[in-house]
Amino acid sequence: MPAIPSIQEAQAAYQQGTSQKAQKWEQRTAAAANVWESNAKSAQAEQAYAQGVQQAINNQLRLKGLQTVSAAEFSSAVRGKSGLYQQETARKAAKWAARFSPYLDIIRSVAPSLPPKVPGDVMGNIQRRVGGIAVPLHQAKMGGAGAVASPQFTGTAPTGSLLAQQSPYGY
């Protein structure tokens, strides 16, 4: 029977292996990208995803996973990484702009037709103005790139009771 390494030896081997294999991983990923894309966009992949999500819901896997993480661990995972985040987001600015541009066009086309703000009427302003932008943006997002050509707000804005609901994330 082969010798079983200690956790320290396993960690050192893992660390060394990941740094040495990064280039190989990048090359293999690039070579397999077209196959990945085809498979990821298939009806079978969508069905497997839906089944997996339903299984996670049925077995409360999200909640079970969160039981092992504290607020301090969550916070410390972010602490000290803001510089890296800033670099990564700055590097992706052009991609973000290209993806956001159709939505900005919708905002520009809809904003002039919104009713004026009424001072002191927060909920009324939300009902009258937010829905006027949110609905065409949502329609564009759900309809894909073709849906952004002629945005129209034809529905009604959400009611005050719907707007008053707090998200499960505390905002």
Reading the block at residue 72, the tokens are 């301090």
**3-class DSSP state of 117:** coil
Q: What is the mean pLDDT of each run of 10 residues along the chain (171 residues)?
A: 76 76 83 92 94 95 94 87 84 88 91 91 90 91 59 46 48 41
Fill in the amino acid letter for 72: A
pTM of the model: 0.45
